[in-house]
Amino acid sequence: MPASGFAVIDFETTGLFPGGHDRVIEVAVVHVTAEGQIEGQRETLINPGRDLGRQDIHRVRAADVMNAPTFAEVAPRLVSLLSGRVIVAHNAGFDTRFLMAELARANYPVADPVVSLCTMQLARDLLSGTGRSLADCCAAYDIDLTGAHRASVDAYATAQLLASYIASAANPSIWGDSLALAADYSWPTMSAAPRSWYERPDGAQEQTASTFLGRISTRLPEITGPAQDQEYLALLDRCLIDRHLSAHEAQALVLLAEELGLSRHRCEVLHSEYFTALARIAWSDNVLTTAEMADLVDVANLLDIPADALDAALDQPAASLIVVTTAHFKLHLGDLVVLTGDMARPRSAWESELLSRGFAPRSAVTKKVALLVAADPNSLSGKARKARDYGIPIVGEVALARLASAFPLTR
């Protein structure tokens, strides 16, 4: 059987330990012919079912992978893309270990070592005197690496690097031997039904009311009353604690509206009433501070409040505004607070501050916990899933700082 060429791969992962709890969150495959011609590229995000780790490195958000397939669901297509080809990666040991670990978790263990080449190791002979990083090797050939730590970017740059190696290598046998072995290599048979691959979105879409209202049915006539309104408003208030709507929170609002029989129009009315009540609270002392003004603008943007309604709320006291009786979330002394994810501030520092302000940091989520603080409010961690099941609010670090600052340091 003729050799098919090379399959250049790159994984983005939650961490560095494939044998432990770290998982793949993105994979890209670039096909390169035996002669060094790039002939195709595929990529997908992967839902790891856990927290995403250092998001500042790979820049994948939990909202990005919410609807992405699992590794088991992409494995059949991935194996077909690798079959008959030499696997190539920059630091191939890292990528092949993750590949083997993920296939084993998906109940498709690979018995024999895969046929692979490492562009980092090849640099010792083909780029003597150059650094070993992908950036260093690419710089030697003037290969663009803009947007590194995205699987598609790193894999494509590695494919270009491989093509440059092939063109410049004095001894072509280093490729021929590997190609022959790869052509005879047997991959496991994948019987699971594959899912469509799911590329990383080009930009982050900010969740606002307009991004989820379209998913709520239009019902006529209205069949709801004050009790349903208050239940929806209570959830809305909880979702807006940190003045941010996560994808999970938007989904929760849609599901509750459907469950309560609220129409899209009724939800829009409730959003307007909620904003009106917030404006009334801000004006209760007849002074609108800069912070209160900024808060009203934030909520207006999140709820897609019309500009004229925002202007009216900012320009005049709201003496005649509708009063909506929904309790606003507050922390209380002694509340249990749980942290999850790799935060910008060390978790130990947050726990010390929480203790000094009279709260009780905990490591596990129970029904008694008042608040979960996540590096990403859309976190897929087990703690976040349990908090959503219990109806516990989930906020980010900025919101925690604002909520905690109302309580003086005791030591």
Let me know whether 83 and 168 are in one domain.
Answer: yes
Check whether residue 65 and residue 33 sit in a common domain: yes
Q: What is the pLDDT confidence band of residue 322, given thresholds at 50, 70 and 90?
A: very low
Residue 383 domain flag: yes
| Confidence check: pLDDT of 222 > 60 | no
Residue 288 has pLDDT above 80, yes or no: yes
Segment 297-318 shows an average pLDDT of 84
- Asked if residue 228 and residue 123 are part of one domain, the reply reads no
Mean pLDDT of 242-267: 88
pLDDT digit string, tens, across residues 186-199:
998 877 777 899 99
- Does 115 score more than 80 pLDDT? yes
- pLDDT at res. 323: 45
- Name the range with the highest mean pLDDT among 77-81, 265-269, 324-328: 77-81
Number of C-beta neighbours around residue 255 at 10 A = 13
Looking up residue 171, the CATH number of its domain turns out to be 3.30.420.10
Query: Cα separation of 405 and 19, whole Å?
Result: 41
- Domain end (from 251, 281, 315): 315
Whether residues 305 and 246 share a domain: the answer is yes
How confident is the model at residue 287, as a pLDDT? 84
Last residue of a domain, one of 151, 184, 217: 184
The vertex-150 CA angle with 146 and 153, nearest 5°, equals: 50
φ and ψ at 100, to 5 degrees? -65, -40
Amino acid 204: pLDDT: 59
Mean pLDDT is highest, among 258-267, 282-291, 353-362, for 353-362
SS3 content of the chain, % helix, strand, coil (to 5): 45, 10, 45
Q: How confident is the model at residue 321 (pLDDT cuts 50, 70, 90)?
A: very low
Q: What is the pLDDT of residues 82-102, one digit of tens each?
A: 999 999 999 999 999 999 999
| Cβ contacts of 191 within 8 Å, gap of 6 or more | none
Percent of the residues in the chain that have a pLDDT greater than 70, as a whole number: 93
Helical H segments across 106-172, by residue range: 119-126, 134-140, 151-168
pLDDT at 325 over 90: no
**Spatial distance between the Cα atoms of 91 and 270, rounded to a whole number of angstroms:** 54
Q: How many domains does the chain have?
A: 3
What phi, psi does 33 have (nearest 5°)?
A: -70, 170
In a domain? residue 269: yes
Tokens of 160: 């270009």
Mean pLDDT across the chain, nearest whole number?
A: 87
- pLDDT number for residue 225: 67
Range of the domain at 229: 209-315
pLDDT at 10: 97
Supply the pLDDT for residue 1: 45
360 and 310 fall within a common domain: no
